[in-house]
Amino acid sequence: MHLEESNGCHTPASTDPLHADVDGPPFKEDWKYDSIIGMMMYLANNTRPEIAYAVHQAARFTHNPRQSHAVGVKRIARYLKLTKHEGMLFCPQSPLRVDCYVDADFAGSFSVANKQDPVSVKS
């Protein structure tokens, strides 16, 4: 993408959503649009959930990208460049365990429903 010398960007997406842009100039870049989208999807699903919306917007046009879509993908890349030291960190501890916090009261029947009732909302 040749963005080594580019400025970073503070947001992964513009306030204007990407659209089909059927009359816009065709995609003329020396990188593969679908390959970059795949890499960004991996990041969005694993360590950078904040780019998920922007990547989804760009991924809709993988079958026929236009130059405006390339601009959107480059914006995501510039955001990632600026925020390369951010993301989710997974630091396993021993013993391995999963902590889960939920905000649920079993559909309001926590102290009312019979635990043995098969239609109870308690799991």
The pTM score is 0.72
Alpha-carbon separation of residue 75 from 48, 55, 90 (angstroms): 15, 10, 27
- Comparing CA positions, the residue from 80, 64, 51 lying closest to residue 19 is 64
pLDDT tens for 60-113 read 999 999 999 999 999 999 999 999 998 887 788 888 887 777 656 555 556 666
What is the C-alpha to C-alpha distance for residues 118 and 121, in angstroms, rounded to an integer? 8
Per-residue burial over 63-97, b = 16 or more CB atoms within 10 Å of its CB, e = otherwise: eebbebbbebbbbbbbbbebbeeeeeeeeeeeeee
pLDDT tens for 36-72 read 999 999 999 998 999 999 999 999 999 999 999 999 9
Please report where in the chains the tokens 């993908």 appear, as a residue: 73
Q: In the chain, where are the structural domains located?
A: 1-88
Residue 25: its pLDDT value, please?
96
Count of all residues that appear for the chain in the document: 123
